[in-house]
Structure 1
Amino acid sequence: MTVEEMAQVTPSSPPPVYDAEDDESRQNLLHESRDSSFEIEQFELDDSPSGPLPGGSHPNASTSTLARAQQVAQNVATYSSKLFTPVKQLLDPVARFWHKCSVAMDVELARWGNPLILKRLVYLVFVSTFVILAILFGLVPNNRNSFGLPDAMATREDLLTYMREVLESSEMKSRLDYMSSMTHAAGTSGDLTLAKYVANEFKRYNLDNVEVKEIKGYVVMADNGQVGWEVVGEQGNQKREDQFGQTPEENSVPAFMANSHPGEAEGHAIFANYGTDADFKALEAAGIKLEGAIVFVAYNNVPTGLKVQTAQYHGAAAVVVFSNDPENADAVRRDTTTNVLMSPGFVNFPGGPRSYRPSKGVDPGDATAGSKIPVVPASLKDVAPVLQKLKSGARYDNDGVRYSGDDKSNVRIKVRNNVKTDEQHPLWNVFGRIEGNQQPDLNVIVGSARDAACFGAMDPMSGQIVMLEAARIISGMTQHLQWYPERTITFASWDGSKQGFAGSNERPIVFGHDLCDETTAYINVADAVTGSEFQAHGHPYFNNIVRKALVEVKSPQNESFVDHWPEKRVKQFRQAGDYMGLLSTCGIPSIDVGFKGSSFPHDTCKDTVGWRDEFLPDSIDYLKAMVEIVVRLALSSADDPVLPIDTAYYASEMRSYVDDLIKYSEEADPNFVHDFRGLDAAVARVETFSQKFIDATSQYSEITRAMEFPNNAAIRHSNNIALRKFESRLLEPRSPEEPRSWAQHCIFSPQAVPQEDFEWYTFGNIRDQLRLKRHDKAQELMQNAAHRIYKIYGNI
């Protein structure tokens, strides 16, 4: 249509005239349409076919699908309208009320500050309160306190009550009977069987990170019938000892000395008393020929390995070591010939716990801690006739009258030590852990030896039983009381303790955790019950918690054990043990606890269940008491907010250690006077530190009596780490090629040649130089030690 044509078109009707009243009618109509509900009009679509399309599709297929989609949309709209409209009508008044309240709240809060910030603060307080209440009332679904808050539901008294309720003497007895029913010398099938048993028990207790860790090194084992000694010209190799409840032939093992040098020797008999350095010097002074002699020495006073090396140094061809115990005269005591004071651990891998290990160890014959002459054990019953034949030489009156004999006597001895050796024999340490919930990287170890010289019913199995029962009880606390210690607790079953403490001197790295760097305390329970007299030896830090435990634990006579503690204090170590490398190489404060007895047949096949029942009828009661003591020590060490170190006792003991060192220096060389002013000043600094530490911990307890805020907890955690480093910073790094490179602690390292009348496990390296009259080196070590102590304990 053209423009002209369009212009000629006449409308069918003129437009309506505007009427103002029509606006009102339209508004009314609009409101009516909004207020009324309506339905979507349903259209009828013809689905009848009209013939196929090319390719076989139907022309009405898309039309049918569209119809079904429209039907679904209509149904959804209908249901939505019926559901949401009533809800909306219900919530709209609430929303309007909340809006009014929010406006009123903003007006009120504006008087005090920014309303937005204040509302966020109120929200934070509300959520925090809810979380704390959820924890307190056990609403948190997991057992572990993953929030890092104190376990308010389980107090220390709750834990101790639980311990007393579940402590099971019958289970301990049956476990002890089983574990001592077989011989289990290190590296044997019995030893491996018990390693697997301990690991399974750890898993049964639900400990974390259970691991059987294999280590390899030099191990000596006996060929049956090829180890012994005899008087030349007489019949009678040494006999095996009688055993309670068993025939001598039943389950017996040959008597041999661990790590002893293989070979045979023959020579004249010499008795050298206890085989100390002084004993051998006295023989030399008396003109007694030691070259080529078969030397008889009694156990005790100094480690067996030191006796052997001293005899070897003086020219002995072989050594026979016997137990000087008349009550067990037929007992043949086994021991290691490794000089553990020179280097504990595997003979061919000297140096103690370390972060690296050479791929191939040294030749055992060249090892500084090993023996180079045959050594065999004997009983007092077999040795007595030989000693009675020695009527000349030096005289000894300490155990009745005995003589040393000399090369002119007609008593000749032949020694055979045809043992099997293996430079890469496997041993097995077993570990299990309970992870801490606040400072899991700080660790407490509860450890015990597992391998035995024979059956080991009480030594070491009493210690294993105590360690296992402590693990079961503490793990049960985590499961039944929803409690976890602040710091991690690791339970260790050491192998190779009779092989020079091999297991505990392999650097303990468990699932990537280097226990040397992380451990705050080591609790050793080797032979936990071999008598009824409580003894505690170790680091002064433990004095308070040991005394507190003994006050609370009752004896079988229902008396406090502290009344039956002769010393009433923790004394310094007097013998070698699994703690040596951990303390002197890693700087871990260590303690050894147990009930001891003088007549116990140590390291003999007489140590059986039958002997226990005969001579220690109340041993199970003492085992229960020992479990209570160890659990209390572990809880204090791992769960006290601040590391429980007895600084006052430490300071007083430091003073006594220095006084003892001064006396030793005067005896070693009366003509030389050393300068001890540096050590005196260092001790004074420790005393000052002690008082500051006591005051600081007291103030902290007052501040956090009601609640410990996060910033206080962070400071406490930092201080615990610093306290752990105090002892590790007292280590003096030494070259691996240097003799006794493992003895790095400038205070707590043993003397190479102990002097029993002195505190030989303190300032050992300084004492060695004083004994050799190397005065300049001794003075240098004193100054180094004084500087370290003064610097470390000068800051708090």
Structure 2
Amino acid sequence: MLDSSSSLPLNPPDYIFEIEEDHENVGFFNKAQFKKLANNFNTRLIKIIDPIYEGYKYLQLQYEKSILKLGNPLVIKRLLYVFFMVFIIFLISKYSNNDSISGTSIGGFVKGKFYDIDKLSDSIKYIIDPKMMKENLEYFSSVPHITGTKGDLTLAKYIETYMKNNGINNIELNEYQTFTNYPSKNTYLKLKDGSWNAKLYESHNENMEFLSYNPNSLNTNEPIQGEYVYINYGTEEDFGKTDVKDKIVLLNYGGNIPESNKVFFAKQHEAKAVIFISPKFKHNEDVIQKENVGLTRVSLGDILTPGWSSEDGYVTRLNWDFSETTPKIPTLPISYKDGQYLISQADKGVELELKIANTNRQAKHIWNVVGSIEGREQNEKGIIIGAARDSSCYGTMSSNTGNVAFLELIKIFTSLQRKFQWSPSRSIYFASFDATEYNLAGSSEWIESRRELLEKEGYLYIDLSDLVSGESLEVNANPLLNEIVTKHLKKLKLNGRSLYDMADIKNEFSSSKNYLPFINLVNMPSLEIKFRGEYPQNSCYDDFMNFENSKIDDKMTKHSLLVELIAKIILEFAEYPLIPYNYNDFTNKLIEYEQNLENYYKSLNSDINLDFKKLKQKIWFMKEQGNKYENWKASWEDYLRKSGGIEHTSYSMARWRWNDNMVEFNSKFLTKGILVKRFGYRNILFGLPFNSPLQDDKFVWNSFPYIRNRLQLRQFEDAQLEINNLVHVLEQAAINLLL
């Protein structure tokens, strides 16, 4: 098995440098002896071959006479050749020794065309190497890899080499140019009277990666001075309770809204700047958390090219003030310890002085590494497995736990190729995304540069960010995926409990992860599975030592289990002849979401009556269409069972068309219009309103976002227009789903 360590030996063996030369002696014979021996051998060989040759000439003469009696010799010979080749192919297919994954299982292609998914799946757990994952985790955590730095490029090259060494031939290292900023020692925060200074670095280390800053933050031209006020988590309600005009706002990280939205609200209320207080990790009060403040809920990607790709170095870039995605007031994070001190002094009328002098790069190089295993049947369609590579420092739990699983998945599927001479029915893409910490720039720019292609070809995205950071098993899944995800959750156990019993399964997708652009830009059904916990996120304390000391996964048991689970899900979605969406699960969830939408509308106590009747009707119409598909699928499966796995051409053509329709179905929910200048949000079925909470047990915010956004703003007439538009789209999508 090949892995990243395979390379030329340090001291290459002599045969590498051997060169053929014309020596006087050949082995134990000199030239004269060798020539005599050769002549004797030729004489004897002729005596043996001559009778055989005469017999061959006689048989050939009889063969030619027979051909002449049958007709045109040229035509007859060609027919006999075709018959002979068909016979040979039949023997090869019938008696091939590669029968370990062939059979009559309906799970996959058989007899040279269909593969047994269950037998392939059973091999996966034997390929997983926990020790190698631990070594990779330690290696990835040994070097800081902030976006666009040498450490980031080093890991990109490592992943590229790993792909090559494991047999992936289709590899691209995509380079983009996006805005990035880096911290500076010239940044400071102090009391105006000089009696106190914030410690703007971690671990008594003033190297760049330990310094305090917010990715995509605004610098100060001159020092900012003024009173400050503490307003808890910075919700709209918090801002409404306190006058922050011309003041510096002190607030906590966390809560239920994104940090960038807090900055947006602070600007709306005319605050001068925002100071974020980091949470303490266990008993450590010196953690400084570095969070993106680019306005993710408006546009995803490079903050100076909102809505279009920055792949071309000559692309138009907006001025900071004209971009809807840039923060318009400065921000700076501080430690919990310094934050508590400032809170204790807040009522004493003291003033702060703040200067932010980050190093800005308007068009810094970033790198995505993408490799693929080409599908054998519908290779234009594909699954994408994505992992965030960059981090704000060492990134052990934030990005590296996902990266080691990413590498292990590459090894699994290339090993299956070598072991079974197998390739998936549809393609599998492995994407290492850069600049995740900068408003998801790597994944967003990659999608923006090939958006139309992904709409037509991509049908599943799996995100591997912060894969293992605790004990709580969380699953986010598009309802189309629930059947397969649930099936495999039930098959695997941890400490005697099935993963299904442990899992909290939702369709939330609210965090700032690389699934956001896949959902909101191209409506690609997405999946996230992880063991979640509290850890020093986006801090240099998120390192390998803390991972080891916390005993989160010292034997890499959780990593191995999730890799096995995700690999089996990938295998089923890549190999099963029909893309295994479940439209009954999908429409049942839409029925729930529609009722939840009505409940949210009622909670607003509006005097305007909205009509949801047609929306309900079209969801039920889609359910009926989905049932027709399920009936066809059942008849196809029954036919294959009775035929021993031999698929008639008419069924093959119909199946390919179903797969085309299923991918096209997702693209129907992408609007060409733009909602309130939210360039990164085109999905009218799933996605997030601008001001929706990160978590909510009452309302399903990740559904019908355009309608919910209007309701949030109490624009009820516009909300009805959005309902009517969705009704029309649902009807057309349901009609076009069927053949």
Q: Shared fold by TM > 0.5?
A: yes
Deviation for aligned residue 1:369? 1.4
Cα distance between partner residues in 2 of 1:212 and 1:256: 29
Amino acid at match of 1:413: L
Deviation for aligned residue 1:692? 2.3
Cα distance between partner residues in 1 of 2:528 and 2:707: 24
Q: Counterparts of 1:233-632 in structure 2 under 5 Å?
A: 233-239=193-199, 248=205, 252-263=209-220, 264-283=223-242, 288-325=243-280, 327=282, 328-351=284-307, 359-390=315-346, 409-508=348-447, 514-555=453-494, 557-565=495-503, 567=504, 569-597=505-533, 599-619=534-554, 620-632=556-568
Cα distance between partner residues in 1 of 2:570 and 2:482: 14
Amino acid at match of 2:385: V
**CA-to-aligned-CA distance 1:381-415 (integer Å, 9 cap, x gap):** 21112223345xxxxxxxxxxxxxxxxx5032222
CA contact (8 A) 2:479 2:586 kept: yes
Cα distance between partner residues in 1 of 2:682 and 2:478: 16
CA contact (8 A) 1:295 1:311 kept: no
Q: 1:481 to 1:125 in 2, by over 3 A?
A: closer
CA contact (8 A) 2:292 2:439 kept: yes
Identical-residue share of aligned pairs (%):
24
Cα distance between partner residues in 1 of 2:190 and 2:380: 56
Q: Counterparts of 1:88-99 in structure 2 under 5 Å?
A: 88-90=57-59
Deviation for aligned residue 1:188? 1.3
- Structure 1 residue runs without a partner (length 5+): 1-79, 104-114, 139-147, 392-408
Q: 1:251 to 1:421 in 2, by over 3 A?
A: closer
Q: 1:648 to 1:616 in 2, by over 3 A?
A: farther
CA contact (8 A) 1:218 1:364 kept: no
Amino acid at match of 1:704: L
1:676 corresponds to which of 592, 604, 612: 612
Q: Matched residue of 1:507: which SS?
A: helix
Deviates more, 1:661-670 or 1:204-213: 661-670
Deviates more, 1:433-442 or 1:750-759: 750-759
Deviation for aligned residue 1:354? 9.8
Q: Matched residue of 2:625: which SS?
A: helix
Deviation for aligned residue 1:273? 1.8
**Are 1:770 and 2:730 counterparts?**
no
Q: Matched residue of 1:766: which SS?
A: helix
CA contact (8 A) 2:374 2:428 kept: yes
Q: 1:410 to 1:471 in 2, by over 3 A?
A: same
Amino acid at match of 2:719: A
Cα distance between partner residues in 2 of 1:778 and 1:334: 37
CA contact (8 A) 2:480 2:586 kept: yes
Q: 1:234 to 1:789 in 2, by over 3 A?
A: same
Q: Matched residue of 1:793: which SS?
A: helix
CA contact (8 A) 1:183 1:253 kept: no
Cα distance between partner residues in 2 of 1:96 and 1:698: 56
Structure 1 length as normaliser, TM-score?
0.78
Cα distance between partner residues in 1 of 2:80 and 2:561: 57
Amino acid at match of 1:740: R
Deviation for aligned residue 1:184? 1.0
Q: Matched residue of 1:543: which SS?
A: helix
Cα RMSD for the two superposed structures: 3.3
Q: 1:623 to 1:150 in 2, by over 3 A?
A: farther
Corresponding residue of 1:691: 627
Amino acid at match of 2:335: S
2:599 corresponds to which of 663, 687, 697: 663
CA contact (8 A) 2:190 2:353 kept: yes
**Are 1:742 and 2:698 counterparts?**
no
Q: Matched residue of 1:743: which SS?
A: coil
Cα distance between partner residues in 2 of 1:350 and 1:521: 25
Q: 1:124 to 1:159 in 2, by over 3 A?
A: same
Amino acid at match of 1:689: Q
Cα distance between partner residues in 2 of 1:372 and 1:389: 27
Q: 1:600 to 1:128 in 2, by over 3 A?
A: same
Amino acid at match of 1:257: N
**Are 1:785 and 2:726 counterparts?**
yes
Amino acid at match of 1:688: E
Cα distance between partner residues in 2 of 1:672 and 1:178: 60
Q: 1:198 to 1:235 in 2, by over 3 A?
A: farther
Cα distance between partner residues in 2 of 1:686 and 1:673: 25
Cα distance between partner residues in 2 of 1:630 and 1:748: 23
Cα distance between partner residues in 2 of 1:150 and 1:255: 61
Deviation for aligned residue 1:305? 0.7
Q: Matched residue of 2:522: which SS?
A: coil
Deviation for aligned residue 1:746? 1.1
CA contact (8 A) 1:440 1:487 kept: yes
Deviation for aligned residue 1:759? 2.1
Report how many residues are paired. 669
Cα distance between partner residues in 2 of 1:671 and 1:606: 52
Corresponding residue of 1:143: none
Larger Rg: 1
